[in-house]
Structure 1
Amino acid sequence: MQDQHSIIDQLFADEKLTEKQKNIIQAAIDSFSEKGYAATSTSEIAKKAGVAEGTIFRHYKTKKDLLLSIIAPLLTKSIAPFVVKDLYKVLDTKYETYEEFLRGMIENRVVFVKKNLPLFRILIQEIPFHPDLREQFKENIANKVFTRFQSLVEHYQAKGQIIQIPSASVLRMTMSTIVGYFFTRYFLLPDAKWDEEEELEMTIQFLLHGLSPTGKR
C-alpha cells in the first residue's frame, strides 16, 4: 500500500473510515490505475486489501459504487482544487508571447502529472466510459478553466500571434495535443526511450506553426 493511506487520508478526511475500508480503497486505487476498472475484479481488490470479498460488498453495493466513491472525492477534493489553482497561476502570468505561455503551461503540467500518475490513470481510463464522471469533470475543472483560457487566447489574437478562429477551437487543439503527449508518454508507452526535451519542443513547435498567422511561420 503506497504511503499507508496518505491519499485516502486526504480524500476522506471528513469521513470515519475503518482500517479495512482504507485498505479496500487503497487496493482499488492501485488496481484500477494498473489494470483499469473493467479488468479489475472485486476478488482481486479483496486479496490485495487483505479482506474477504464479502467485506467489500458490505461497504459498497457494486464495483461501480466503489469506483465512484474514489473518483468523486478525487475530483472535488484533490484534482480540481490543485489543477484549477495551479493552472490559474499559469493563466494569470503575463507571458509576452503564446510560445512562452505554452512552455510555462506544459512545464507546470509535467511536474503535476508525474506527482499524481495513479490518480490520472484512473481519470483518463474511466471518465470516457462514465457520463456522471464526465459531468463532474466539466463542472469542477473544464468550465472553470475555459473562461480564463478564452480571454488569454483573445489577448494573443489581438497581438497577431494566433490566427482568428474561435477560442474554443484554439483550446480544443491546444489541449488535445498536450493531453495526447502526456497520455502517450506516461500511460500508453511509459517505458519507451524518449528524449523528453526534444518531444516537448516538437509539441510546442507543432502548436505554434499550426496556430500562427500565414506568413509568420
Structure 2
Amino acid sequence: MSDDTKIFEELFDENKKLTEKQKKIIAAAIESFAEKGYAATSTSEIANKAGVAEGTIFRHYKTKKDLLLAIASPVMAKFLAPFVIKDLNKVLNQKYEHYEDFMKAMIKNRALFLKENIPLFRILIQEIPFQPELKEQFTEHVAQKIIDRLEKTINHYQEKGQIIEMPTYTVMRVTISTIFGYLIARYILAPEGDWDDEVEINRTVEILMHGLAPKEA
C-alpha cells in the first residue's frame, strides 16, 4: 500500500482487531483494486500479493465483495466523511470576496486531498456507481453533508450578484462536474502530462465563470 494513503494507515491504527494477515490482505486488495478495478481482480491475485493462501482470504471474508466492503465501508463512515468534511471546511469556512476565488481554493484543496489518497479515490470512483451499498453510504456520510454546505455558499454568491440566477442544484452540478473533470484528468487519466497546474486551474475557473456569470442588461 502506498505510504501516502493516510486514511488507510489510520484505519489500521484504529481497528486493533485486524490481524497482521488481514492487514496484508486489505493492503494487497487496495493496491489491486486501484490498479485493475474490482471486477478484473481475482482473489488469487490478492492472496499472491499479500503472501497468504487464497483460503486465508475466505476465512476472513466470505466473498470478494465482502472484502471490498470491508475496505470501503468503515473508511466511508469513520474516516472519509469526517476527513473530507473537516478538510473541505478549510475552504467553506473562509469568506472569499468572489466566487472565482472560492473555486480556485476549492480546486487546490481537493487536489491536495486527491494526491494524498489516490488509491482510495480510484476504488471509490470505480465502484460507487456499481455497488449500491457504497453508493448509499457515500450519499449518507459524504455527499449530503457537502451538498448542504455548498448550497449555502452558492446562495451567498447569488445574492451578491456574482452567479446567474438559476436553481442552486444546477449551479452545484456544473461546478462539481467541472472541478472533478479537471482533477480526474490531472491525477487519474493523464498524471504524467505536461501540466502547469496554476494555468490549468485558472482556465478551469475562467470557463466555469463564463458560463455562470450573470448576463449584462
Q: Report TM bin, short chain.
A: over 0.9
**Partner of 2:45: helix, strand, or coil?**
helix
- Contact 1:8/1:22 (8 A) holds in 2: no
Partner in structure 2 of residue 53 of structure 1:
54
Unaligned runs of 5+ in 2: none
Whether 2:116 is the aligned partner of 1:115: answer yes
Whether 2:151 is the aligned partner of 1:150: answer yes
- Contact 2:7/2:79 (8 A) holds in 1: no
Partner in structure 1 of residue 72 of structure 2:
71
Flag the 1:2–1:112 CA change in 2: closer, same or farther, 3 A. closer
Cα distance between partner residues in 1 of 2:54 and 2:22: 12
Tell which has more relative contact order, 1 or 2 (C-alpha 8 A, sep 6+). 2
Flag the 1:8–1:210 CA change in 2: closer, same or farther, 3 A. closer
Partner in structure 1 of residue 204 of structure 2:
203
Partner in structure 2 of residue 93 of structure 1:
94
Q: Aligned-pair distance for 1:7?
A: 5.1
- Contact 2:7/2:117 (8 A) holds in 1: no
Cα distance between partner residues in 2 of 1:212 and 1:8: 41
Instruction: Render the CA deviation track for 1:165-215: whole Å, top value 9, x for unaligned.
Output: 111111100001111111111111222222222221111101111100113
Structure 1 residue identity aligned to 2:155: E
Instruction: Render the CA deviation track for 1:108-138: whole Å, top value 9, x for unaligned.
Output: 1111111111111111111111111111111
- The number of equivalent residue pairs is 216
Q: Aligned-pair distance for 1:9?
A: 4.8
What's the TM-score, normalizing by structure 1?
A: 0.94
Aligned CA RMSD, in angstroms, stands at 1.8
Cα distance between partner residues in 2 of 1:182 and 1:6: 19
Structure 2 residue identity aligned to 1:150: E
Whether 2:34 is the aligned partner of 1:11: answer no
Q: Aligned-pair distance for 1:75?
A: 1.0
Q: Aligned-pair distance for 1:2?
A: 3.8
What's the TM-score, normalizing by structure 2?
A: 0.94
Cα distance between partner residues in 2 of 1:8 and 1:91: 25
Partner in structure 1 of residue 34 of structure 2:
33
Structure 2 residue identity aligned to 1:105: M
Cα distance between partner residues in 2 of 1:7 and 1:87: 15
Cα distance between partner residues in 2 of 1:115 and 1:7: 9
**Partner of 1:215: helix, strand, or coil?**
coil
Q: Aligned-pair distance for 1:78?
A: 2.0
Deviating above 3 A after TM superposition, structure 1's stretches of 4 or more consecutive aligned residues are: 5-9
